[in-house]
């Protein structure tokens, strides 16, 4: 009888351990394994795991661009020509008075042609369309499996939070959990998202071509990850 009780207790402990392990892994499944962001779209992050940080950050000290500051923002509009399922032009009024450092970074990368050919790698119906990974998100020579984990090689930016609400057409900077980690990626809102207000840097508003944004190829319902050939920014230019 005693042996039977011991065996029963051992089985019970094993069952509890298995239940705990399963719960832990279910939580991991609910979190995007690439991005580390909650899969329901409650976060807009630059998707970086430990391996990705090592890949895109380990050689930063050797990049001459790191030592250079972005020029002060003087831009007026950002014009994006979209190709793919959506075809057309998006015009964004850049708010250099609200986020001068972030706008300076966007205009610099655009002027250098680094946004040309970059994919919309994460697009969530009713939430936002994310792009701007100039390291891995290139349609030619990029790595779509890693898209969303890359940066520009320039230093991350300090947060420039404002009281501007994240409503339809508002453009913000994506970041890691650290508020001071925006770099090159940005997103365009499809609908209001009050939980983002004051948590992400607003850099502009779409003034033309929101119908083009609406047609950008959507990703998976839960993660927004785009499979197959994504839509992309064919060209990005800055106008005064």
Question: Are 197 and 212 in a shared domain?
Answer: yes
Q: What is the domain range of residue 26?
A: 1-30
Question: Are 78 and 153 in a shared domain?
Answer: yes
Question: Are 131 and 181 in a shared domain?
Answer: yes
- For 67, phi and psi rounded to 5 degrees? -80, -10
Question: Are 117 and 21 in a shared domain?
Answer: no
Question: Are 46 and 158 in a shared domain?
Answer: yes
Question: Are 7 and 98 in a shared domain?
Answer: no
pLDDT digits (tens, 9 = 90+) for 74-127: 668 999 999 999 999 999 999 999 999 999 999 999 999 999 999 999 999 999
Structural domains of the chain, count: 2
Question: Are 72 and 155 in a shared domain?
Answer: yes
pLDDT digits (tens, 9 = 90+) for 137-193: 999 999 999 999 999 999 999 999 999 999 999 999 999 999 999 999 999 999 999
CATH number for the domain harbouring residue 131: 2.40.100.10
Residue 60: Cβ within 10 Å count: 15
pLDDT digits (tens, 9 = 90+) for 199-221: 999 999 999 999 999 999 999 99
Question: Are 77 and 3 in a shared domain?
Answer: no
Given a contact cutoff of 8 angstroms between Cβ atoms, the answer to whether 128 and 150 are in contact is no
Which residue matches tokens 């891995």?
Answer: 136
Question: Are 3 and 49 in a shared domain?
Answer: no
Question: Are 78 and 18 in a shared domain?
Answer: no
């Amino acid at each position: 009888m005693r042996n039977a009780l011991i065996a029963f207790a051992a089985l019970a402990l094993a069952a509890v351990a298995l239940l705990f392990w399963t719960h832990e892994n279910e939580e991991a499944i609910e979190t995007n394994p690439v991005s580390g962001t909650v899969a329901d779209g409650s976060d807009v992050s630059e998707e970086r795991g430990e391996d990705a940080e090592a890949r895109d950050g380990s050689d930063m000290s050797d990049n001459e661009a790191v030592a250079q500051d972005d020029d002060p923002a003087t831009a007026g509009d950002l014009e994006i020509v979209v190709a793919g399922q959506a075809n057309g032009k998006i015009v964004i009024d850049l708010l250099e008075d609200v986020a001068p450092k972030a706008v300076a970074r966007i205009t610099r990368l655009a002027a250098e042609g680094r946004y040309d050919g970059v994919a919309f790698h994460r697009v969530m119906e009713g939430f936002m369309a994310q792009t701007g990974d100039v390291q891995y998100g290139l349609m030619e020579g990029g790595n779509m499996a890693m898209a969303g984990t890359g940066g520009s090689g320039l230093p991350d930016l300090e947060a420039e939070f404002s009281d501007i609400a994240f409503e339809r057409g508002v453009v913000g900077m994506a970041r890691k959990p650290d508020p001071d980690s925006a770099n090159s990626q940005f997103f365009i809102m499809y609908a209001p998202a009050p939980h983002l207000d004051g948590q992400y840097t607003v850099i502009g508003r779409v003034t033309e071509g929101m119908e083009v944004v609406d047609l950008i190829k959507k990703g998976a319902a839960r993660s927004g990850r785009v499979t197959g050939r994504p839509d992309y920014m064919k060209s990005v230019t800055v106008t005064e």
